[in-house]
Amino acid sequence: MVREMTTEKSQTDPEGPEARNIPVALSSSSVYPLSVHDAFAVARDLGYDGIEVLVTGNAMSQDPQRLRDLSSRYDQPIMAIHAPTLLLTQQVWGSAWNKIEMSAAMAVEVGCDVVVAHPPFRWQGTYATGFAEGVRRIKEDYGVRIAVENMYPWRARGREALMYLPHWDPVPQPYDHVTWDFSHASIAEMDSHKAFRDLGERLSHVHLCDGSNNGKDEHLVPGRGTQPVEESLQYLRDSNWDGVVAVEVSTRKAKGAGEREEWLGETLSFARRHLDRSGVNDTTGSSSLAP
């Protein structure tokens, strides 16, 4: 059975004798086109530590009370809210700022403190030009971290189309918090391990997947692409990082539920293997990434 492929849930007691193991959550996008309800069920069956909810046009993904009910029913805490800032969710929750504010409010209601947001598109006017200051204000108003995700250059006829403002790369931007996605890094031909070191304490959340450097946003099972995923996760482990790793693997091409759960179980095992702190001595006493 699927459960035999996985280990027990991570030990996250900060009062325990050993360093806290980094939780591994399942993004609801990983079961698309199934629903967020299915994501909770799959996460429980495979032994994940929690859920990242991607807000979409699906009513359940927008309803804090129904999400809390699912969290309780399946014993899966909600560890992050992904704001509807994708191109495909432009009609969800109205204006750009409203998307961020409502996501922050929902994070508070469901008991998590991370909101994942994509950087603004160039055509989004004052939202784009005032984005860094705006997300900082919302962070202070709601007490949640708005973690801006790394994206990638869009290319047309061999030339880069300027889609994001100020840029698709969050590393040099004045964001307090950043989400790192390995598949996006692959398209951008970036070294994720180096980016983790460069971001330091600003790295707040990670989307675990992989990419094969072919220009497509593949969201592969980690280890099936070319990104330095193993080294990057081990760096988080050894740096006493205190965030959450959320699995964001595309299973749309899986042949039925069995293969979908096999891929997500394999990814969970991969994450636990490289994030496990048992037997790893922490001599820094730090709770953040080392430079």
* Tokens standing for residue 45: 């069956």
DSSP 128-144: HHTHHHHHHHHHHHHT-
Q: 45-49, 68-72, 233-237, 279-283: lowest mean pLDDT where?
A: 279-283
Q: Band of the pLDDT at 279, cuts 50, 70, 90?
A: low
The answer, yes or no, to whether residue 5 has pLDDT greater than 50, is no
Q: Quick one: pLDDT at residue 4?
A: 37
Domain ranges of the chain: 21-275
Q: 124-138, 207-221, 269-283: lowest mean pLDDT where?
A: 269-283
Q: Quick one: pLDDT at residue 119?
A: 97
CA distances from 215 to 147, 151, 219 (A): 24, 12, 12
The answer, yes or no, to whether residue 73 has pLDDT greater than 70, is yes
Q: Quick one: pLDDT at residue 261?
A: 97
246: left (phi over 0), alpha (psi -120 to 50) or beta: beta
SS3 122: coil
User: Partners of 220 in the beta sheet?
Assistant: 210
One-letter identity of residue 136:
R
For 193, residues 6+ apart whose C-beta sits below 8 A from its C-beta are: 228, 231, 232, 235
Q: Band of the pLDDT at 44, cuts 50, 70, 90?
A: very high
**Is residue 101 within a helix (H) or strand (E), and if so which, with residue range?**
helix 96-110
Pairing of strands 154-156, 159-161: antiparallel
Q: Quick one: pLDDT at residue 6?
A: 40
Q: Band of the pLDDT at 194, cuts 50, 70, 90?
A: very high
Does residue 275 contact residue 21 with C-beta atoms inside 8 Å?
yes
DSSP 35-91: -HHHHHHHHHHHT-SEEEEEP-SSGGGG-HHHHHHHHHHHT--EEEEE-S-SGGGTT
Tens of pLDDT, residue by residue over 113-130, are 999 999 999 999 999 999
Tens of pLDDT, residue by residue over 236-273, are 999 999 999 999 999 999 998 899 999 999 999 999 99
Average pLDDT over residues 203-217: 94
Does residue 79 contact residue 25 with C-beta atoms inside 8 Å?
yes
SS3 270: helix
CATH classification for the domain delimited by 21-275, as one of 3.40.30.10, 3.40.120.10, 3.20.20.150, 1.10.10.10: 3.20.20.150
Cα torsion through 35, 37, 38, 42, rounded to 10: 140
Q: Measure the CA–CA gap between 80 and 77, rounded to whole angstroms.
A: 9
The answer, yes or no, to whether residue 284 has pLDDT greater than 60, is no
Does residue 136 contact residue 128 with C-beta atoms inside 8 Å?
no
Q: Measure the CA–CA gap between 247 and 26, rounded to whole angstroms.
A: 5
Q: Quick one: pLDDT at residue 9?
A: 53
DSSP 223-267: TSSSS-HHHHHHHHHHTT--SEEEE----TTSSHHHHHHHHHHHH
